Amino acid sequence: MNEMKLYKQWTEQKLEDSDLTEELAAIAGDTEGIKDRFYRELAFGTAGLRGVIGAGTNRLNIYTIRKATQGFADYIKEKYGENTSVAIGYDSRIKSDLFAKETAKVLAANGIKAMIYGQLMPVPCLSFAVRELKCKAGVMVTASHNPAKYNGYKVYGDDGCQITTEGANKVLENINKVDMFGGAKVMDYDEGVKAGLIEVISQDVIDTYLDRVKSQSINGDLCKSANLKVIYTPLNGAGNVPVRAILKKVGIDNVIVVPEQEKPDGNFPTCPFPNPEIAQALDLGMKLCAEEKGDLLLATDPDCDRVGIAVPDKNGEYVLITGNEVGAMLMEYICSQRIKKGTMPENPVAISTIVSTAIAGKIAKKYGVEFRQVLTGFKFIGEQILYLENDGHPERYIFGFEESYGYLIGTHARDKDAVVASMMICEMAAYLKSQGTTVLEFLDSIYKEYGNYLHVQQSFTCEGADGMARMAQIMADLQSNIPTQIGGLKVLKVDNYITRESTDLATGQKSAITLPKSDVLSFILEDNATVIIRPSGTEPKIKAYYTTVADTKQKAAELQKTLADDFSKTMGF
């Protein structure tokens, strides 16, 4: 069925959401607008659904949510049979609460008990609830750090980790069998509550989560005595209550919240990109830090699974710290302090992704920690924790992180957790303060010991049908025309995760890559430099990751710019 036929079908329906009816009327005669909304169905994968909120098959609305949930319900019933339950969470995004309730209504109509949070909660709280409540699955309504026009539907397995590729493929098969209108079973929400098929998750679960987070503290007693002044912004998201609660639990009472970004607001009026990776999102926090002379700025994204920080330099100017740098510092702090305290487990394991800083591997080697690298996506870190748990030794896991500001200390959740990360970052700052040093001095000591590694990510937006095709073409061109040099540095090896094959360009020798298939190409260059390229799984972007190493930070930055300029031209940007 082509776009115009689908559009006509939608306009002939008596839609339950008047916003959709108004939108469809507004695009009458707009060929491109209709095409963009109907040229495909939202893709369902291991990240679930993510898309612009609105009318159409390529939009997130109550009908695409119901269709996806029916397919998921069928999968759950096929896999687990009767008497199952699913945990549901949602953040502050536009219509998140509505989409969460629609999810509960479809699950309940299918005889699956929906355990839903009664208020917005972070992603890690959903991951925690799945395991704590012994649910067979979980759904989190969020679009993480995307702009306000987006929302999403993340699906979790019974281990509290995002669903596997195999599971996602099966759910997608089921979804494709469901008619958009009338194909999903739906129960009235209040009727579901009366029937015991919809239940609000109790405060006890939230309190238990916070207790588990607090138990990860290593030097928590220092937090109160250090008298840290913390400036915090939840970026109008779900972090406000739990982050402040955990900081209070460890004795950090002097927390000042950025007032314009304190209350939940899915329009994100002060920052069009509510992402702590983007400096603009932290502008108000940086300004308040300068006014209040804070020791530390914390910024969590709308679903509170990522956290960014800024700290003052010796001149009192506030400096943003990258996700790789925070990961390296937490790795050094956790390893050194757990050994000092005698709490390091036997055969400890730390995990990171192939696009994250190589310093982590060096730190792990120094402290006798097994270091595992996985594909991009925190589900792969969660999967490694599951392997350790299945072996009977989940305590071996001490830390996992990815360069995009995601960290997890402890096994209470199987997704990145900005609540526990915020606590540990503050604790680390308190410890350093007690030692008469600063966060920046600590970071400099890491570079001095392990080398001046610079890691920079570059994103190129490719929206709509043409954008998807362009990304696919770029990846195909790079595979068929492998560059022999990038920015003047010779390409020594190519790791093709699409074909799961590594090629030495000097000898032509090939070897197998053991990690799962993924749409990623990695170019290993001279002088320990690398360039990695991959389309985003959650945004209409293709991302390039550059690693350079040099005698000084300035030289590393100059080399990175040379690589980025050359590689951007190769991709056609």
Q: Look up residue 123 and give its two tokens.
A: 């992603």
Q: Look up residue 96 and give its two tokens.
A: 């998140």
Q: 144, 404, 518, 522: which is the annotated catalytic residue? A: 144
Distance CA 544, CA 535 (A): 9
Task: Specify the amino acid at residue 454.
Answer: L
Q: Look up residue 450 and give its two tokens.
A: 């392990």
**What secondary structure does DSSP assign to 22-83, as a single string?**
HHHHHTTT-HHHHHHHHSSPPP-BTTBEEEEBSSSTTSBSHHHHHHHHHHHHHHHHHHH-SS
Identify the DSSP state of 497. T
β 307-312/318-321 pair status:
antiparallel
Element (H, E) at 531: strand 530-535
**What secondary structure does DSSP assign to 144-200, as a single string?**
TTS-TTEEEEEEE-TTSSBPPHHHHHHHHHHHTTS-TTT-S----HHHHHHTTSEEE
Q: Look up residue 237 and give its two tokens.
A: 């998201």
Per-residue buried b or exposed e for 355-375, using 16+ beta carbons within 10 Å of the residue's own CB: bbbbbbbbbbeebebebbbbb
Query: What is the rounded (10 degree) CA torsion for 258, 263, 265, 271?
Result: 0
445 is catalytic: no
- Name which of 142, 123, 135 is nearest 76 in CA terms: 135
Q: Look up residue 498 and give its two tokens.
A: 């699409």
Per-residue buried b or exposed e for 308-319, using 16+ beta carbons within 10 Å of the residue's own CB: bbbbbeeeeebe
Residues acting as catalytic residues: 144
